[in-house]
Structure 1
Amino acid sequence: MYLIGLTGGIASGKSTVAKMLADLGAVIIDADQLAREVVQPGTPGLAAIAAEFGGDILLADGTLNRPALGAIIFSDPIRRTLLNNITHPAVRQLSRDQIAAAAAADPSAIVVYDVPLLAEAVAGGLVSFDLVVVVQADADTRIQRMMELRGLTRAEATHRITAQASDAERLALADVVIDNTGTVDATLAQVNALWERVRSAEAARLP
């Protein structure tokens, strides 16, 4: 198995790149999706969040009110850390399980772990990546995307960017940087080049 760590700041286009890689044949493990799974109704994670943040954080049907929680954690780093301490251990365990399952199903698979907080995954001993790919777009582009696609104000979008790791912190981990400030075709060309590089590297490791 060849394991790629894929990361990028909010609205950088990381999910777009992940989809392109999936179309080329990669197995995608999406940390955001796993984070949603660990806070489904009836899970220990959701119960712990309600206990920490109050019952108002739940909708009438018992599901998590994500916009309300986001408004809290993106403006308060202490409470954001409290949330991370609840959800991250469960997400890490699910990630390990899914990576192991992908390797068992196909020992020559190219697996992409799509994760916003890649530095934490590395520091937490989650995995050792064969390659780290960072999707990059400048802050102004990302703010504009969040305003247009998510309906956020400029202040809200800026808060969300500053709540994450800095560009410099992400780029320090990168083996490959994909610039997603241009056209879709320009991004796809970079992804195709990455895929050929990875396929060659994986083929060279096979007996």
Structure 2
Amino acid sequence: MVVGLTGGVASGKTTVSEILQEEGAYLIDADMIARQLVEPHSATWYEIRKAFGDDILDENGSLRRKKLAARVFSDPDERKILNQILHPQIRREIQNRLKEIAEKDPRAIVIVDAALLVETGDYREMDKVIVIASSPQEQIERLKQRDGMEEEQARNVLASQMPLEEKRKVADFIICNEGSLEETRKRTREVFRELKKIAPC
């Protein structure tokens, strides 16, 4: 069974995915795949460098992820260019990993953690979809604390994303991540128990 996990930025996807792994799920993290794809001197790195210039690279040639993020979140055209470079390759790698897991463990419950799962339409390929819900103010505070963003930049990031209500429409399960960690853990475990009940034998 393949389960998509998504939500807005800083909504708590990592926390929920870690709990699901503890419960026995496999995890495929789209953001981690993206990080691997853009390692210095890879084919994808060259594409991004050509599209965005050398000022997004640090002295070691690695991407300045925060600088690139600031650009693409404030410019829809640049965001589209970056997604056109990255998304097909991320999608291909996810499919490869799903195939590997299926061969190893046909009864596996695999979580695909992807921020743009709904925007790209890839949610249609999932057996089930989990959406992590968090209030905009909670997300802004997390962005400020986690990424050191200023309030205005954090609001720009949120404004650039699909509204949570649109993601809720395709959700089979919703996990509200605004309370304590224990509350999130309890709800996540409930969802995983439901997934195990409906997973193919």
**TM > 0.5 fold call:** yes
Structure 1 residue aligned with 2:170, among 173, 177, 181?
173
Once residues 61 and 148 of structure 1 are traced to their aligned partners in structure 2, the CA distance between those partners, rounded to angstroms, is 26
TM-score by length of 2: 0.96
Bigger shift: residues 130-139 or 140-149 = 140-149
How many residue pairs get aligned? The number is 201
* Aligned-residue offset at 1:143: 0.7
Residue 201 of structure 1 corresponds to: 198
The DSSP-based 3-state class of the residue aligned with 1:119 is coil
- Structure 1 moving runs of 4+ over 6 Å: none
Give 2:150's match in structure 1, choosing from 150, 153, 158: 153
Matched, 1:91 2:72: no
Q: How many angstroms apart in 1 are the aligned matches of 2:142 and 2:50?
A: 34
Distance in 2, matches of 1:90 and 1:149, equals: 27
Q: Which amino acid aligns with 1:6?
A: L
Structure 2 unpaired stretches of 5+: none
**Alpha-carbon distance, 1:120 to partner:** 3.9
Distance, in Å, in 2 between the alignment partners of 1:70 and 1:149 is 14
Letter in 1 for 2:198: A
Q: Deviations over 1:28-61 (max 9, x none)?
A: 0000001111111121111011111111111111
The one-letter code sitting in structure 2 at the alignment partner of 1:182 is G
1:128 corresponds to 2:125? yes
Q: CA deviation at 1:200?
A: 1.1
Partner of 1:71: 70
Partner residue in 2 for 1:6:
5
Query: Secondary structure at 2:111's aligned position in 1?
Result: strand
Name the TM-score, length of structure 1 as normaliser: 0.93
Whichever residue aligns with residue 3 of structure 2, its letter is I
2:88 and 2:119 map into 1 onto residues whose CA distance is 11
1:54 equivalent to 2:53? Answer yes
| Aligned: 1:144 with 2:141 | yes
Counting only pairs closer than 5 Å after superposition, residues 29-40 of structure 1 correspond to structure 2 as 29-40=28-39
* Distance (Å, rounded) in 1 between the aligned partners of 2:4 and 2:99: 15
Deviation at 1:163, TM superposition (A): 1.3
8 A Cα contact 2:119 2:162, kept in partner: no
Does the residue aligned with 2:58 lie in a helix, a strand or coil?
Answer: coil
- Residue 24 of structure 2 is matched in structure 1 by 25
Q: What letter matches 1:86 in structure 2?
A: I
C-alpha spacing 1:127/1:170, structure 2 compared with 1 (3 Å): closer
- Return the alpha-carbon distance in structure 1 between the equivalents of residues 167 and 102 of structure 2: 26
Query: Once the two structures are aligned, what percentage of the paired residues are identical?
Result: 34
Q: Aligned partners of 1:127, 1:166: CA distance in 2, in Å? A: 18
The CA distance in 2 between the partners of 1:85 and 1:152, in whole Å, is 26
Aligned residue identity for 1:175: D
Distance in 1 between residues matched to 2:146 and 2:34, nearest whole Å: 22
Partner of 2:183: 186
